[in-house]
Amino acid sequence: MIMQLSVGRTTYLRMSPRVQVWVPEIASKDLLSCVHTDEYLTNFIHGRVNEQDQKRTGFSWSEGLVSRCRYETGGTVLAAQVALQRGLACSTAGGTHHAFPGYGSGFCLINDLAVAAKYLMGNSSPKRKVLIVDLDVHQGDGTAFIFKEEPSVFTFSVHCGKNFPLRKQQSDLDVSVEDGLEDEEYLSIVEAHLPWLLETFRPDLVLYDAGVDPHQEDELGRLRLTDRGLYKRDLYVMKTMVSRGVPVAAVIGGGYSRDIDKLALRHSIVHRAATQVWREFGM
């Protein structure tokens, strides 16, 4: 059961501890405008998207695509709200970190991470501090650009340096890795940075992009992580947050395969790791 109390643009959720699955509301244009320009949103929502813009995103425009992106963003916001109350939550979508305020790029139309961060940061006093941990194989260039002058948001990206996007933005902390990196080396990099970030930045909320495209079978990844490596990564990230009392909301991020069943199973890794954390900490 979810009880909602709305005051102005702020919605407070009171959630029954018995409920484990929630369904998001569609993200309003007003909500999306905290990140994206009015011109871009109007054109995207109403289908005034030219061929060049569609090529840049990799998607042909449709009403269904618009609906999906808006529900996806609503899901990330909801996951963050649940995490603030319950300590840990996961979305079954999200991680569209290549979207910029005025245009989409790289299969990303709306930057759900940025919308969630801005919405939850702005709806608290004092302003919440949000750490975005982006472990998708591609740098979160849109997110980095959006928050480049926002001290209350820290963007941390571990990505393959010789992969998309060609022109990188400047995150607060970028760790560029070489092609072919395997499980243990990758995890050691994450372990070397994450505790230090939590101790120095002291976030009130973590948004975790658990992209599965570092996997060795990913068609656009160029790294060599295994299923087990991804599980250990996700388990480490979420246990590190929860053990320190820092709320964490995870999204599935990128993953590319022609075998949809295999890809879906790979995207479920973060949820399986979260279940383990939930049980270990008696949440």
How confident is the model at residue 110, as a pLDDT? 98
CATH code of 26-281, in short, is 3.40.800.20
d(CA 248, CA 73): 16
The confidence score (pLDDT) of residue 15 equals 60
- Tell me the C-alpha distance between 158 and 178, whole Å: 11
Alpha carbon separation from 201 to 23, 85, 117, 130, 227 (Å, rounded): 32, 21, 15, 9, 30
Confirm if 32 and 81 have CB atoms less than 8 A apart. no
Domain locations along the chain:
26-281
How confident is the model at residue 221, as a pLDDT?
A: 96
What whole-number distance in Å separates Cα of residue 213 and Cα of residue 97? Answer: 14
Side-chain-side CA neighbours of 46 within 13 Å: the count stands at: 8
Which whole-number Å values give the CA distances from 74 to 71, 84, 167, in the listed order?
Answer: 5, 16, 29
pLDDT in tens, the chain (283 residues): 233 322 233 344 556 567 789 999 999 999 999 999 999 999 999 999 999 999 999 999 999 999 999 999 999 999 999 999 999 999 999 999 999 999 999 999 999 999 999 999 987 778 999 999 999 999 999 999 999 999 999 999 999 999 999 999 999 999 999 999 999 999 999 999 999 999 999 999 999 999 999 999 999 999 999 999 999 999 999 999 999 999 999 999 999 999 999 999 999 999 999 999 999 998 8
**Separation of alpha carbons 243 and 15, rounded Å:** 22
For residue 13, what pLDDT is reported? Answer: 54
